[in-house]
Amino acid sequence: MARKVGSSVSSLLLKNAQVYAPESLGVQDVLVAAGKIICIGKELSGLPVDEEKMQVIDCDGALLTPGFIDAHVHMLGGGGGAGYGSRAPELTATEAFMAGTTTVIGCLGVDTVTRNVMALVAKARSLRERYLNVYCVDGGLDLPIHTLTGSLREDMYLIPEIIGVGEPAISDKRSTQPSLDDLRKLVADVHVAGRLAGKMGFVQFHLGDSPSGIKPLLDILPDVLIKHIVPLHFNRNPQVLSEAPEWAKNGGYIDLTVPLYPPAYKLGKSVPDSIELLKSQGVDRKLLTVSSDGNGVSTLFGKDYIHRFPLNILYNDVKIMYERGMELGEAVSYVTSNVADAYGLASKGRIEAGKDADLVVMERDGLKIRTVVSAGMVVVDKGTRMPPTYGIDV
């Protein structure tokens, strides 16, 4: 029995699902109420909810995983780096949900002139009203970082959605060429801001193609905690990918970006190939995360040949890894539990009592997305987006 978003449902029971939490739990029922996972068990009965108002979805052995977390999304629209015609439109909740993504971390990019943190927070709140879980970051490619109040600490303390900084560029000709002291002070500031606000606090650093690679980040490690640093785009070229194991040996997370592979990115390596290589080099797979750079824009060939990165590329790489023979729980961990751990999102990324009810049901054959639950609401049912009550989608 399907109900549209916003209808009067007090709870949801997903029955007969092959649960990957992301570890395999076998066939289970999962009860959801008030946006949370209430309990998990076999053939649940005597439930502590009003069964008259309970929605029941029989998964019939389909695969149930946590909702995907995409930690690097240009939700205001990426691009702009090749002139006015290279700007992407804003993200819609529907695009995320149809890709199995239930949580995003939104960021600014190269354009911090026409896009700002106030608009980013407003967009986050708009998407949250459509049941997409959204966080955002101060920043942009340039330094000093862009904020809403004029202070990173005040932003993180006063604005629930702001949980860190992203994505100041290093080792890139487009960066503002920050000094080591600039980097050191920024990471130290986000550390204290996080402590004040009860958040982890992190800086996502954009890694470019300059020969310095990740050396600037390694150089500041004696003075700052590595858990507050998440470098992005490790798979963009052979040099930074070769430096990834050293970063992991220090306990750092390695984020891989889906679209950075040939032929468009001639020096890059695909996410599935990069993960296979890094594991063969002894990198702990729990330190690997994957993000889409979603709604960003490639301007490699000028504005007449731009293309936008859709959010479903994250799901596509999970599917590729699974089709290559990777156990589903592992494939999903790179976009769920590992990401939640990297960014201190304690209520996300796992199917567990007390966690947020963000779930994806996929067909056993081909991993076609059947049902998506976000913030406890069924937002995709039988492969179809459940219509918003607002009449528009943003």
Catalytic positions: 293
Q: Which ranges in 312-375 belong to alpha helices (H)?
A: 312-323, 328-333, 337-342
Q: What beta strand segments (E) does 109-244 contain?
A: 133-139, 162-170, 203-207, 229-232
Cis previous bond, 144, omega within 30: yes
Q: Cα-flanking dihedrals φ and ψ of residue 319, to 5°? A: -65, -40
Q: Which of 368, 384, 391, 295 is nearest to 92 (CA)?
A: 295
- Separation in Å, CA 21 to CA 11, 71, 270, 329, 371: 20, 19, 25, 7, 16
Instruction: List CB contacts of 69: < 8 A, sequence separation 6 or more.
Output: 101, 102, 103, 104, 105, 335, 336, 339, 340, 345, 348, 349
Question: Exposure of 268 by Cβ count < 10 A (0-12 exposed, 13-18 middle, 19+ buried)?
Answer: buried
300: its two tokens? 């490699």
**β-bridge pairing 54-58 and 11-20:** parallel
Instruction: List CB contacts of 100: < 8 A, sequence separation 6 or more.
Output: 67, 68, 314, 315, 360, 362, 369, 372
d(CA 233, CA 166) in angstroms, rounded, equals: 13
- Is-contact 48 91, C-beta < 8 A? no
d(CA 57, CA 39) in angstroms, rounded, equals: 15
d(CA 39, CA 269) in angstroms, rounded, equals: 40
